[in-house]
Chains A and B, each alone.
Chain A
Amino acid sequence: MSDWGIQKAALGERLAAGQQHARGKVVPIPSLPAFLKAVIRSGDRVCLEGDNQKQADILASALANLDPRHVHDLHMVQSGVVLPSHLDIFEKGIARRLDFSYSGPQSARIARMLFGGKIELGAVHTYLELFARYFIDLTPNVALIAAVSADKDGNLYTGPNTEDTPTVVEATSYKNGLVVAQVTEIVDKVPRVDIPGDLVHFVVEAGRPFYVEPLFTRDPAAITETQILTAMLAIKGIYAPYGVRRLNHGIGFNTAAIELLLPTYGEKLGLKGKVCTHFALNPHPTIIPAIEAGWVEQIHCFGSEVGMEDYVAARSDVFFTGPDGSLRSNRAFCQTAGLYACDMFIGSTLQIDLEGHSSTVTTSRIAGFGGAPNMGSDPRGRRHPSEPWLKAGAEADPDSNAALRRGRKLVVQIGETFGERNTPLFVERLDALDLAQELKLDLAPVMVYSDDVTHIVTEEGIANLLMCRSKDEREQAIRGVAGYTDIGRARDAKLVDQLRQRGVIRRPEDLGIDPLDADRRLLAARSIKDIMLASGGLYRPPSRFRNW
C-alpha cells in the first residue's frame, strides 16, 4: 500500500519545527536565523521572491547568513538575482543550482560565478516561462516572499507591488510547500487581502518596507535628439500605419521618448484615440503627460514604480486598483496580457546580428531576460483578429488565403546605431554565442529571435522585415538601417536602394520627417520636475531623480 501523504507529512514536520520559533504565525526578527535553519532542508527547492522591482530583502540576507554546514545544496528558483545576498548564497555554498529569469545589477558577478563553477545553471527563463515551471517541474518546497502588511492570521497586503507574489504562493502553498512572508508591519486588519492567510504559514515583521528598485523611471533630461528622431520614425512609420492601439513598451530611452512625444508630435499627426489607447505597462512616469492629455484608456501593470503610487491611485479610470485605492499589479497576468492581448512590443536591445536575432548578453554580463522575450514574441496560440495583427500577417504572406492566414504581432527593436561608449548595435556575431560556448549551454541566450522581430528602427530609418522575401534581402534590410557601423558600411548600396523603392526600408525623408526637427522641445516633459508638474504633484520622484 502506497503512502500518499508524504508531502503533507513533510510540511507538517516543517510547520512543527518552525512553530518552535514563532508565536502563532509570527516569527520575531531575532528568531529568524534559527527559524530558517529549522524549516529549510538541504536540497530544498527555494523560491526567494524578488524580480526586477520588489525584493524579499530581509529574508534574502537571513538565508545568506545560514551556516552551509547545516543547510546546503539548495536549488534556487526565482525571478530575479538582483541583490548581492542572492549571490552570497551561492558563494557560501548554501545553494548550488539556479533557475532564474533576470539579473540586471548582478549581471557581471553572476557571469563570473558561472565561469568559476560556483553556480550550476539550470536555465535562464522569461518570467512567464519560469512561473509556468513553478507548476510543472520547478515547484518550490519553500517560498520566501514579501508583503506590506499582515494580520495575525497571515492575510497579506502586498500594496501596489503585488507582482509575482500570488503566483509564487499559489504554486508553493497548494503543493504542500511552506510559505514565509516578510512584512513591514503586523496590523489588526489589512487594507485589502491580496493573499489569503490560509496559504501563508509564517510572517516576519521586518519593521521596514521591502526594497523596491525604481527601474522604470527614465529622466527626460537624458533623452537625446537621436532618440527623439527614432521615436518620431516609430510613431509616424509604425504606430500610425498599423493603427497600434494595444501595446507594450520596453524600458529604454527610445520608448520613453515615444511616450513623451504622444501629446506633442502624435497630436500634430492626429493620432489621439487611434494609437496607444491600451497598454500592458508598468506605471512609467514618462507616460503621465499622455495620460493627462487623454490618450490612454487603460493600463495593466506587471509591478508598480517608486513614486507613482499616489498618481496611480488618483487615476483609477486608467489603472487597476483595489478597494483600498492602491494599484493591483500582477506580473503573471500582465505578461499573459502582453503576450496575447497586445498587437505590438517595442523595445531596445544591445546587439542585433545580420539575421535579426537580438541579445542583451555581452561576454562579461548575463542580464537575463525578464519579460522581454515573452512580450517580444509572436503568440502562435492567438486566435482573435485585430487590424494591426491582420495587416502584419498580410505583409508577411500576401499570397495565402486571408481566412487561413495567421496574423503577426509587431515586434519592434528600436535603438541608435551606436550605443554607450560607441559600441555598435549591429554585429556579425552575437556575444551570446561565445557565452553559450564557454558555459557549454545548449542555447545561446537570445532576447528576441529573428523570426519574431518584424521591424528595426534606428536613426537611419525603419527596416520592415515582414516584407523581406529572402535571407539576403533580410540581411541588406538590416545593413540598410545600420548607419555607420561596420555592418552598415558593408551594405550592398544597390540592393538597399531597391529595398527602399519597395518600402522595405523607409528613411526619415520617405516619411516626411526632417531629422533637424528632432528637437528636445518636442518632449511633453523635459525633466523629472516637468513630469511631476504634469501630474499635478501626485508623482513623487525618488530623491535620486530630484536635482532641485
Chain B
Amino acid sequence: MEKLSFRLTAPNRAGGTRAQTIVGVVASGNLEVLLERSLPAGTCTIDIATAAHGFGAVWDAVVRDFVARRAAGGLRISINDGGARPDTVALRLAQGVRKIEEPER
C-alpha cells in the first residue's frame, strides 16, 4: 500500500451544501472516493491509499488537473484505490464533485 497526500489551492469552491458523499467502490481497477466539506473554501486536500506503487507523478498530474478544472474548493477528499486507471480516477473525482453539489434526498 502506498500513501500519497496533496494539499492544493482550489480556484473553484464546491457547490451545494451536502456535508459529505461517497462514490465508487474499492475493487480491482476501481476506487472509492470520500468527499467531506470540512476545509476553507480555497483549499482542497486529497489523501490517497493505493494498491499500485510508483504512480506518484501520474497522481500528481491527475489531482492537479482535477482541482484546477472542477469545483473542489473546501473539500477534504480521501481515496481508497484498487489500481484504477487515471481516466477512471478523473471520472470518479468528477462524479464525486457533482454528487456533493446535489441536494440531500
A and B co-occur in one complex = yes
A residues with a Cβ closer than 8 A to B are 224-226, 416-418, 422, 459, 483-484, 489, 515-516, 518
Instruction: Check A226 against B62 for contact (C-beta < 8 Å).
Output: no
Q: Bound state CA distance, A152 and B95, in angstroms?
A: 66
Complex interface: chain A residues within 8 A of B83 (CB): 422
Query: If the complex has contacts A484-B61, A484-B62, A489-B61, are A418 and B86 also in contact, measured as CB distance less than 8 A?
Result: yes
User: Chain B 73-87 against A: per-residue CB contact (8 Å), 1 yes, 0 no?
Assistant: 000000000010111
Complex interface: chain A residues within 8 A of B52 (CB): 422
Complex interface: chain A residues within 8 A of B58 (CB): 484, 489
Instruction: Check A516 against B98 for contact (C-beta < 8 Å).
Output: yes
Q: Bound state CA distance, A287 and B78, in angstroms?
A: 40
Q: Nearest chain A CB to B23's CB is how many angstroms away? A: 11
Q: Bound state CA distance, A484 and B58, in angstroms?
A: 6
Instruction: Check A417 against B87 for contact (C-beta < 8 Å).
Output: yes
Complex interface: chain B residues within 8 A of A518 (CB): 91
Complex interface: chain A residues within 8 A of B88 (CB): 224-226
- 12 A-B residue pairs with CB within 8 Å: A225-B88, A225-B91, A226-B87, A226-B91, A416-B87, A422-B52, A459-B87, A484-B62, A516-B91, A516-B94, A516-B95, A516-B98
Query: Which 9 interchain pairs have the tightest Cβ spacing?
Result: A484-B86, A418-B85, A226-B87, A459-B87, A484-B58, A484-B61, A489-B61, A416-B87, A516-B98
Complex interface: chain B residues within 8 A of A484 (CB): 58, 61-62, 86-87
Q: Bound state CA distance, A422 and B57, in angstroms?
A: 14
What 6 new A-B contacts, CB under 8 Å, besides A226-B87, A516-B95? A225-B88, A226-B88, A422-B55, A422-B83, A484-B87, A489-B61
Instruction: Check B95 against A418 for contact (C-beta < 8 Å).
Output: no
Complex interface: chain A residues within 8 A of B98 (CB): 516
Complex interface: chain A residues within 8 A of B62 (CB): 484
Q: Nearest chain B CB to A509's CB is how many angstroms away? A: 10
User: Chain B 17-59 against A: per-residue CB contact (8 Å), 1 yes, 0 no?
Assistant: 0000000000000000000000000000000000010010110
Taking each of B55, B61, B91, B95, which has the highest tally of chain A beta carbons within 10 Å of its own beta carbon? B91
Q: Bound state CA distance, A418 and B61, in angstroms?
A: 15
Instruction: Check A422 against B91 for contact (C-beta < 8 Å).
Output: no
Instruction: Check B87 against A483 for contact (C-beta < 8 Å).
Output: yes
